[in-house]
Every structure is written in C-alpha cells, then in structure tokens.
Amino acid sequence: MTDKPKLTLKQPLSLQKQTQLFQALKPLHVQAEKEKRREGKEQAQKEREARQKKREGIKVTLAWLYEQFPSCFNQNELKPLKLNIDKDLFPFLEKDQAPSKAKLRDALTFYTNNIHYLKTVINSTNRYDLEGNHVQEITPEQKAYAQEKLDRVLNAIKSKKPYKTPKSPQETNG
C-alpha cells in the first residue's frame, strides 16, 4: 500500500508566523483578564455597599424599637421576645418614621441572633410582649434550640478569627 499525502487547504504556520500571531493576540488576552479583575472588584464593592446599607437600616430600625418599646427592647436588659412578635409590631409600621416590614424582620433577626440575647433565652423562664409583660413560658426545647444556635454562632466566630494564646515569657526568651 502506498501512503497518500493528506490533502489540506492550509499549510501549517511557520514558527515566525505563529510568534507574530501570538504577539498580536497577547494584548487582547491581557486586556480581557484586566477587565475580569476590574468587574470582580466592582462587584465586590457593590456587595460591600449593600451590606453596609443593610447594617445601617438595622441600626435605624433597632433605634426605633428601643425608642417605641423600651419595656420590651432594651439594650442593657435583654428580654426573650414573645414568639411571632413581628405580627404585633406590624400595625405600628404605618406611623411616620417607622421602618418597612423587611427592615423590621432584618432587625429582629439581628437582635435574636445576638449572643447575649441567646444567653438570656437559655437562662430565662418567660417571654415578653411589647409592654414588657410575661406572656409565654420558654420550653426546654426552645432553650435547647437557643443553645444550639449559640454554639453555631460561637463556632462561626472562632472559625473567622482563631483565638491566639499569648506566648509565655519562657517561649519568647527560649
């Protein structure tokens, strides 16, 4: 059998032509990478700004709650809140200077996920309404859930910022 040469329409590029082509395309590749990095930075900046805006909304809403309901919401004396207290708060949102439902829910989530609030739920026996009255008893299941949530929050904090023990004088001198 005889080997027939392959029929092709194009000849392979010479090494010199390949080099020229690569040099011509290189700036496009570098430019595309720079564009991707710039877009990533812009996206990260937008996300930071959105988180900051949400934090500000939570602060404003919490200040409103502290002002409107001091017997229930008190920074210095946290009380376990009545279950579904948000439903009791909704009628008050129609007033001037009141936050939106979404901001209220964000603020309540922030408030109830606070380490000190969770410890209060674990150590208390009653839940309170907007006037500061005892309305519900905290069940052992609710206390166990609060303990689990507290453990998750503490573990998340530890994983973000590992605790470093200070070196003893012997280690620094030795």
Asked whether residue 106 is assigned to any structural domain, the reply reads yes
With tokens 């919401």, the residue in question is 73
In this predicted structure, the answer to whether residue 167 has a pLDDT above a threshold of 60 is no
Contacts of 118 (CB under 8 A, 6+ apart): 112, 146, 147, 149, 150, 153
CATH number, domain containing residue 71? 1.10.1710.10
Tell me what pLDDT residue 5 has: 67
Pairing of strands 126-128, 134-137: antiparallel
* Residue % of the chain over a pLDDT of 70: 87
Instruction: Single out the residue of 118, 136, 117, 116 nearest to residue 126, CA to CA.
Output: 136
Is position 14 within any domain?
no
Whether 60 is in a domain gets the answer: yes
The string of pLDDT tens digits covering residues 109-118 is 999 988 999 9
Domain span at residue 117 reads 35-160
| pLDDT tens column, 19-53 | 887 777 777 667 778 888 888 889 999 999 999 99
What is the reported pLDDT for 162? 54
- Residue 24 belongs to a domain: no
Q: Is residue 15 part of a domain?
A: no
pLDDT value for 174: 45
Instruction: Give the mean model confidence (pLDDT) for residues 122-145.
Output: 91
Number of domains present in the structure of the chain: 1
Query: Which residue, among 74, 160, 61, has the nearest Cα to 120 in the 3D structure?
Result: 74
How distant is the alpha carbon of residue 147 from its chain centre? Answer: 21
Determine, yes or no, domain membership for 30: no
Domain annotation covers residue 84: yes
Angle at 141 between CA 154 and CA 86, to 5 degrees: 80
Q: Is residue 82 part of a domain?
A: yes
